[in-house]
Structure 1
Amino acid sequence: MTMIGQALNRVDGPLKVSGKATYAYEHWVDGIQPLYGFVVGATVGTGRITRVDTARAEAAPGVHTVMTHHNTQPQGTPDLAIPFEYWRAFPALSGPDIHHYGEPVAFIVAATFEQARAAAQLVDVEYAGGPGSYDFAAAQDQAYTPESLILGIPADTAVGDFDAGFASAEVTIDQRYTTPCVLSQPLEPQACLVVPRGEDLVVYASAQIVDAARSSVANTLLMDPKHVHIVSPYIGGGFGSKLRIHYETILAALAARALGRPVKVAVTRQQVFHLTAVRPMANQRMRLGAGRDGRLVAIAHNVTMHTSRHSEYVEPTATTTRSLYAAPNRSTSHRMVPLDLVRGEDVRAPGEAPGMLAVESAMDELAHELGMDPVELRILNEPKVDPERGVPYSERKLVECLREGARLFGWERRNAEPASMRDGRWLVGYGMASAIRVHLQAETKVLVRLGPDGAAVVRTDMTDIGTGTYTILTQVAADGLGLPPDRVRVELGRSEFPLSAGSGGSWGAANTSTAVHRACAALREKVLATACGDARSALHGRDAADAVFADGSVSIDGASESLSDIVARDHPEGVEAEGEILGMSDEPNYRDYAIHTYGAHFVELGVDADTAEIRLRRMLGVFSAGRALNAKTARSQLIGGMIWGVSAALDEELVIDQDTGGFVSRDLAQYLLPVHADIPDLDAVLLEGFDDKANVLGAKGIGELGICGAGAAVANAVFNATGVRVRDFPITLEKVLPGLPPMDD
């Protein structure tokens, strides 16, 4: 029986539930007590440090050093020739200028965490504050066009004549949707332990991309990368916030190198808000033009978002619209407004998550205006080829997701008239939305080794951010070598292992599994070549093309020999092979096909007729992502994304202090997230599929698919329940309450 696709329990589960899985902050150096670091952040949003007095902090109990821009070692500066910023230098305490609230202005290193934190309160910093720009709405006139999006994708696209098509449309929608700054909140905050060893630094970090962490540390500290060793075997969630290392790791590395002692840093939950990065706030204008029959004739998605004045980040928010629905006249654009805020970085499903809040809300508005079923409107506008690239889709099952989701959910029970369905004092609403997420591929290598005992070891610097990488790679290797899962050991997250693209962009599982599959194929060839050519083997002289690897043995035409016997006899030191995949720019399929994943969300919720309290009642997602590598972890990933979509629609918002640029909501008491009671009945269904254009395994990424469109389904259900259309996210009580219909007693 093939292992790929089975709902195998997590192989690392026992380690995690027993507390034996070692995360970044939990590493120790035998016989050496580490020092502890604590970051002191700026209390102004822009300006310049004019005086910093560290005398009291330096005299505090346990303090070993206080670092400021006056005594920090020389550091590298970001090299813009490096295409991805996560690999660039990330200097800290490199000068007196303040770029955003909370930026490090000092770093305390003490014998204990408590001593470091206490001493941090004793650092006296004075600033010459400059005028900061923190108001997104007030700075719209400063918007500019970025050179491009990630991977060189154009910032703007145009097909046909949008203005003419929109003007000729019988029915039009022209609305703006606004989304706030939000950020990742992994269970494990950013943390590290940095250990100096001669010329080397060993960095135990919570890093989604090991190579990016290694390169960034080396480029910042002006070191040869061969002297930087990253260790990241377990990560307590990332969601984009650990694609790059941040200030805590650089500061710990600088201090460890200067003091010759290991240094630990754990960022507090409050510090996460200013020491990591955010999804930019955005103003999205959606224009849809259609005939009375519902066929789109024009579609435009124009996005204006904020960016740090000192570090540009362009979220590809409008790119979703380029592939989702057919329309002959099209326009998309991205514009940037520079502000003096924390830098922007990737947050789960960058681009698709906020973009689909707007696209799928607008499609619901069009369906209401036309008096059409929202599901049928989407199916009517299903494209035959990618509407902007003109290439065929590799595997597109959006219509199947819509049909199956409507059937399973009982969509036919929906009443299209807003505020017409009631359950006592609750207004009941149904909403739905489509989902689409681009599938990406990046260069990845894996080494698989068979020992003389017949057990396999898989090595790659790929990481597991809690998504099940250990389990999936175990399944692929077990399948490829005909071994039971307990005869496979997967080792991840070390910079000495073969290079991967890490966990991010929903590409990690498909990338690494494909490389493991190829490594196992190469390993089988080596084993068969020696066995079939060895007169001592039962397989001697037989045709290797007929070989079957199963149950730890190799069989050909009735003859069989165990893998352990073959390896022990012919490869007493073990035998290994490497598997590799190329980046998508070198794979013709990514040029010749539009390769995406798809889904459909369905929501039922209630809105209290007196208070406007919104309560999710049930939610269903039906998805298509090629072949599932593990049915259990796939469903888990999709459900997690759906919950995040609910959160984006109803809860998450960073409130900005317009005097300082700091975030007022900077803890989990004020930055709201759903809890268990908010998510009562939720299910995800993954359709069977196999996308042979994506890779040889037919699998595509799902980590970010679940969030795409989920929030719009919630918003559309709120409208169906109340008749109130909220276009400024999140949807809160005060935005719904004034428009609630009167209730009869």
Structure 2
Amino acid sequence: MTGPLATRPAFAGQAITRVDGHLKVTGQARYAADNPVPDHLYAVLVGSTVSRATVVAIDTKAATDHPGVVRVLTDFGGVKLPYDIGRVAFFGQPLAVVVADTLEAATHGAAMVSVRYREEPQHTDFHDPAATREPSKAGPEYVRGDADAVLRRAPVVVDRIYTIARNYHNPMEIPATIAAWDGDQLTVWDKVQGIHYSQQAYSEALGIPAEKIRVISPFVGGAFGSAGETWPHQFLAAHAARQLGRPVKLSLTRPQMYAAIGYRPASWQRLALGADLNGEFLATVHETEVEVSRYGGYEESPTEGTKLLYTSPAFRATARIVPLDTSEPTYMRGPGAVTGAFALECAIDELAERLRIDPIDLRLRNEPDHDQSTGTPFSTRRLTDCFRQGADTFGWSRRSPTPRAVRDGDQLIGMGTAAALYHTVRSESSAQARLNADGTAEVFAAASDIGPGTYTSMTQLAADSLGLPMNKIRFSLGDSRFPKAATQYGSQGMASIGSSIKLTADMLRDRAIRTAIIDPGSPLNGFRPQDVDVVDGRMYARAEPRRGETYQDLLRRRGLPSLDAAQTYSPEDVKARYTMHAYGAVFAEVAVDELLGTVRIRRIYAVYDAGRIINPRLAHSQAIGGMTQGIGMALLESAETDYRDGRIVNANLSDYLVPVNADVPALDAAYLEARDDIADPIGVKGLGEVVMVGVPGAIANAVYNATGKRITDLPITIEKLL
């Protein structure tokens, strides 16, 4: 209802359809490679075929002579790369860039480049006992009490080794970059998760000021962390364009992606739990090893969640890295957390069976009232509510504690559960908002949208603050000319960017109100700002609702084309005083063919404590996506390496298996009614990461309940069950 007596609608909290959905489903959304940059050339990488060597010579004559090839670049001078140019650090490392008039000519030309190496001993096997193991800088040793001594005398102990294979992101959109120079000004149409983060990376790699670089990335076709860093192939596209004086488009192939953009590193974990006969945890030991590249700096820390998820008076966490001659790993959905939770939640399930205690009851008996690793209180924590509500909805009471007890023909049926958590991240973020004379509003932030629905949720927040309907607001992102916004990874997008949008839109609304109340020509002249509200673009006095005017009236009368505001959200330093996490309880039911050993997901359900939910439809989409990736990690995904040269032999979607529709029959999730006002002004915690974290553990526990076989190595394949 519009008019003076209308009440302000709350768009935040509504399950609104994506505002950019029509563009995507009709093919009008432009992803990086879709941008129509005129007169551009095509570039194709030539990658190394060994994993450790010195480059002796690169023969480019045949490629250069090929029709359509414009140039073959082998000199990357002037580009700062993370490894030494001239030496091979991993299989697939870019050694040359073939640039041609057509993609076909560039591709064929790349196949004609010949490289001679002086090979050196290489190590690509994470599980090789001879591989070097070093202390991790990301997860230094943490100790409280004497966990090893307590374990030796604990009445009940579970002590297991868990391993997880290397996983790759495999987003729908292959990484691509178009680079164009105008004098000393560089523009890149790119696939990135952090607009200004990438702008700075280009600046450092190419040695030019950041303000001379424009990064454009309005749509990203999936990333899951893979576009969080700016990778060498992106810099080489810009380098090629600078060398040739024409725009250059460089798109990776799917196999090249496996060497070019990082992965979830393979891991080894020892998880030991000691408890008394009542199920009270006495000691926990969590030792981890993860693979890293020799040249890179990325390390995962799977022990972080273990320190605080349950009570344990004695605790020891030790993290080590295994440097290998491989490309650099990187963030992948739930980084570190999903790895550590798999080991912890499986160990708890095994301990529950030995104690003859229900797995949920055992977890509830060890629910902490503060963060034992820091001594700080939780900002909010409702994990017990997640388990109780989830168990009731899922029908946990029907689960038999006896393995192999439930059948459906030849299928063994099992249920499992696991907890999930992910820390709440917030970063400084800025936005700009503008009221136009035609009654519309524009909001700008250099954010990314990798799939969670950023266009929609930010429009919802702006609409609530400005008192405008959503169809009168246009939110623009994906351009480094907009105000600097937080990078979209670590589940920080909504908390950081959303907070900046709210603060900016609030400021603009208040500015319009103040402009009206001091204007003698306004019906609101003389009122106090706090006594004025806005509904449907109309400012009115709460005490006298018929006295008011629209934003449009105000701007027209004052001759203003627009009214602007800009604001920056800077998170308060509450991390030193509170522990902030999102939580979840995941439930899985599986069917395992008794003769064939095939595992099928029957259903997965989860309940999450993720603070305030801005858009339930988008949140549900995030949960389904996270569950699907969790299914892949648990049952399907494994990069297979040829240790002779470091080649990933299944670097394609035919042999690297990911879940398809038949693998995900019934997935559902719910979110608790909650908000975390300690974390940020809009009360959110973040949910993109946590929705994957407990899934592999819940599936593994369900497989045990079905078969009586406890599989501690992911993925759970047929041969491990036969």
| Smaller-chain TM-score bracket | over 0.9
Instruction: Give the CA deviation at 1:342.
Output: 1.4
Number of the residue aligned with 1:741: none
Alignment of 1:643-662 (within 5 A): 643-662=628-647
Number of the residue aligned with 2:3: none
Number of the residue aligned with 2:85: 95
Q: Given residue 479 of structure 1, which amino acid in structure 2 is its aligned partner?
A: D
Q: Which string of whole-angstrom CA distances, capped at 9 and with x for unpartnered residues, describes residues 27-86 of structure 1?
A: 112xx3210000111111111111111000001011111011xx333223xxxxxxxxxx
1:175 aligns with 2:160: yes
Whole-Å Cα distance in 2 between the matches of residues 281 and 437 of structure 1? 20
1:21 aligns with 2:32: no
Number of the residue aligned with 1:255: 240
Secondary structure at 2:134 match in 1: coil
Whole-Å Cα distance in 2 between the matches of residues 567 and 348 of structure 1? 46
Instruction: Give the CA deviation at 1:279.
Output: 1.3
Whole-Å Cα distance in 2 between the matches of residues 735 and 716 of structure 1? 15
Instruction: Verify the 8 A CA contact 2:165 2:638 in the aligned structure 1.
Output: yes
1:48 aligns with 2:48: no
Q: Given residue 560 of structure 2, which amino acid in structure 1 is its aligned partner?
A: P
Question: Unmatched 5+ residue regions in structure 2?
Answer: 1-8
The alignment's TM-score, normalised by the length of structure 2, stands at 0.97
Number of the residue aligned with 2:556: 568
Residue of structure 2 aligned with 1:717, choices 702, 715, 719 = 702
Whole-Å Cα distance in 2 between the matches of residues 588 and 278 of structure 1? 32
Number of the residue aligned with 1:116: 106
Instruction: Give the CA deviation at 1:146.
Output: 2.7
Secondary structure at 1:731 match in 2: coil
Whole-Å Cα distance in 2 between the matches of residues 535 and 165 of structure 1? 77
Whole-Å Cα distance in 2 between the matches of residues 575 and 700 of structure 1? 32
Instruction: Verify the 8 A CA contact 1:281 1:306 in the aligned structure 2.
Output: yes
1:364 aligns with 2:368: no
1:581 aligns with 2:569: yes
Instruction: Give the CA deviation at 1:140.
Output: 5.9
Whole-Å Cα distance in 1 between the matches of residues 439 and 529 of structure 2? 19
Alignment of 1:229-248 (within 5 A): 229-248=214-233
Instruction: Verify the 8 A CA contact 1:173 1:288 in the aligned structure 2.
Output: yes
The alignment's TM-score, normalised by the length of structure 1, stands at 0.94
Number of the residue aligned with 2:120: 130
1:191 aligns with 2:195: no
Instruction: Verify the 8 A CA contact 2:425 2:495 in the aligned structure 1.
Output: no
Q: Given residue 121 of structure 1, which amino acid in structure 2 is its aligned partner?
A: A
Q: Which string of whole-angstrom CA distances, capped at 9 and with x for unpartnered residues, describes residues 190-249 of structure 1?
A: 001111111111000000001121111111111111111100000001111001122321
Q: Which string of whole-angstrom CA distances, capped at 9 and with x for unpartnered residues, describes residues 487-511 of structure 1?
A: 1001101111111112100001121
Whole-Å Cα distance in 2 between the matches of residues 396 and 655 of structure 1? 39
Instruction: Give the CA deviation at 1:91.
Output: 5.5
Instruction: Verify the 8 A CA contact 1:46 1:132 in the aligned structure 2.
Output: yes
Q: Given residue 11 of structure 1, which amino acid in structure 2 is its aligned partner?
A: V
Residue of structure 1 aligned with 2:11, choices 3, 21, 25 = 3
Number of the residue aligned with 1:57: 63
Secondary structure at 2:345 match in 1: helix
Number of the residue aligned with 1:206: 191
Whole-Å Cα distance in 1 between the matches of residues 555 and 47 of structure 2? 57
Per mean C-alpha deviation after superposition, the further-off stretch among 567-576 and 97-106 is 567-576
Whole-Å Cα distance in 2 between the matches of residues 301 and 146 of structure 1? 14
Equivalent pairs counted in the alignment come to 711
Whole-Å Cα distance in 1 between the matches of residues 453 and 343 of structure 2? 31
Q: Which string of whole-angstrom CA distances, capped at 9 and with x for unpartnered residues, describes residues 614-664 of structure 1?
A: 111111011110100101001100111011111111011111101011111
Per mean C-alpha deviation after superposition, the further-off stretch among 229-238 and 166-175 is 166-175
Q: Given residue 28 of structure 1, which amino acid in structure 2 is its aligned partner?
A: P
Whole-Å Cα distance in 1 between the matches of residues 319 and 570 of structure 2? 30
Instruction: Give the CA deviation at 1:164.
Output: 2.6
Instruction: Verify the 8 A CA contact 2:82 2:295 in the aligned structure 1.
Output: no
Whole-Å Cα distance in 2 between the matches of residues 157 and 204 of structure 1? 44
Number of the residue aligned with 1:73: 77
Number of the residue aligned with 1:743: none
Q: Which string of whole-angstrom CA distances, capped at 9 and with x for unpartnered residues, describes residues 146-197 of structure 1?
A: 33x2xxxx52211122123222311111111001111211110100111111
Whole-Å Cα distance in 1 between the matches of residues 19 and 192 of structure 2? 21
Instruction: Give the CA deviation at 1:335.
Output: 0.5
Instruction: Verify the 8 A CA contact 1:139 1:337 in the aligned structure 2.
Output: no
Instruction: Give the CA deviation at 1:393.
Output: 0.7
Instruction: Give the CA deviation at 1:573.
Output: 3.0
Whole-Å Cα distance in 1 between the matches of residues 699 and 362 of structure 2? 18
1:671 aligns with 2:675: no
Number of the residue aligned with 1:36: 42
Per mean C-alpha deviation after superposition, the further-off stretch among 475-484 and 541-550 is 541-550
Whole-Å Cα distance in 2 between the matches of residues 156 and 580 of structure 1? 37
Alignment of 1:370-409 (within 5 A): 370-409=355-394
Number of the residue aligned with 2:262: 277
Number of the residue aligned with 1:545: 530
Number of the residue aligned with 2:4: none
Number of the residue aligned with 2:433: 448
Whole-Å Cα distance in 2 between the matches of residues 331 and 567 of structure 1? 64
Whole-Å Cα distance in 2 between the matches of residues 570 and 349 of structure 1? 51
Instruction: Give the CA deviation at 1:307.
Output: 0.9
Q: Given residue 579 of structure 1, which amino acid in structure 2 is its aligned partner?
A: Q
Per mean C-alpha deviation after superposition, the further-off stretch among 176-185 and 468-477 is 176-185
Question: Unmatched 5+ residue regions in structure 1?
Answer: 77-89, 738-745
Q: Which string of whole-angstrom CA distances, capped at 9 and with x for unpartnered residues, describes residues 306-347 of structure 1?
A: 111111321021101122001111111210111111111111
Whole-Å Cα distance in 2 between the matches of residues 588 and 259 of structure 1? 48
Instruction: Verify the 8 A CA contact 1:446 1:460 in the aligned structure 2.
Output: yes
Whole-Å Cα distance in 2 between the matches of residues 395 and 118 of structure 1? 58
1:305 aligns with 2:290: yes
Whole-Å Cα distance in 2 between the matches of residues 119 and 139 of structure 1? 41
Number of the residue aligned with 1:79: none
Whole-Å Cα distance in 1 between the matches of residues 252 and 657 of structure 2? 20
Number of the residue aligned with 2:466: 481
Secondary structure at 1:137 match in 2: coil
Residue of structure 1 aligned with 2:95, choices 78, 81, 105 = 105
1:513 aligns with 2:498: yes
Instruction: Verify the 8 A CA contact 1:517 1:579 in the aligned structure 2.
Output: no
Q: Given residue 7 of structure 1, which amino acid in structure 2 is its aligned partner?
A: A
Q: Which string of whole-angstrom CA distances, capped at 9 and with x for unpartnered residues, describes residues 406-443 of structure 1?
A: 00010011010111111111111111111111111111
Residue of structure 1 aligned with 2:303, choices 298, 314, 318 = 318
Number of the residue aligned with 2:456: 471
Query: Identity percentage over the alignment?
Result: 38
Whole-Å Cα distance in 2 between the matches of residues 249 and 388 of structure 1? 40
Number of the residue aligned with 2:144: 159
Instruction: Give the CA deviation at 1:355.
Output: 1.1
Instruction: Verify the 8 A CA contact 2:430 2:445 in the aligned structure 1.
Output: yes
Whole-Å Cα distance in 1 between the matches of residues 201 and 27 of structure 2? 30
Instruction: Verify the 8 A CA contact 2:54 2:87 in the aligned structure 1.
Output: yes
Instruction: Verify the 8 A CA contact 2:140 2:318 in the aligned structure 1.
Output: yes
Secondary structure at 1:138 match in 2: coil
Whole-Å Cα distance in 1 between the matches of residues 531 and 55 of structure 2? 73
Instruction: Verify the 8 A CA contact 1:511 1:581 in the aligned structure 2.
Output: yes
Instruction: Verify the 8 A CA contact 1:442 1:582 in the aligned structure 2.
Output: yes
Alignment of 1:722-741 (within 5 A): 722-737=707-722
Whole-Å Cα distance in 2 between the matches of residues 571 and 434 of structure 1? 58
Instruction: Give the CA deviation at 1:100.
Output: 0.3
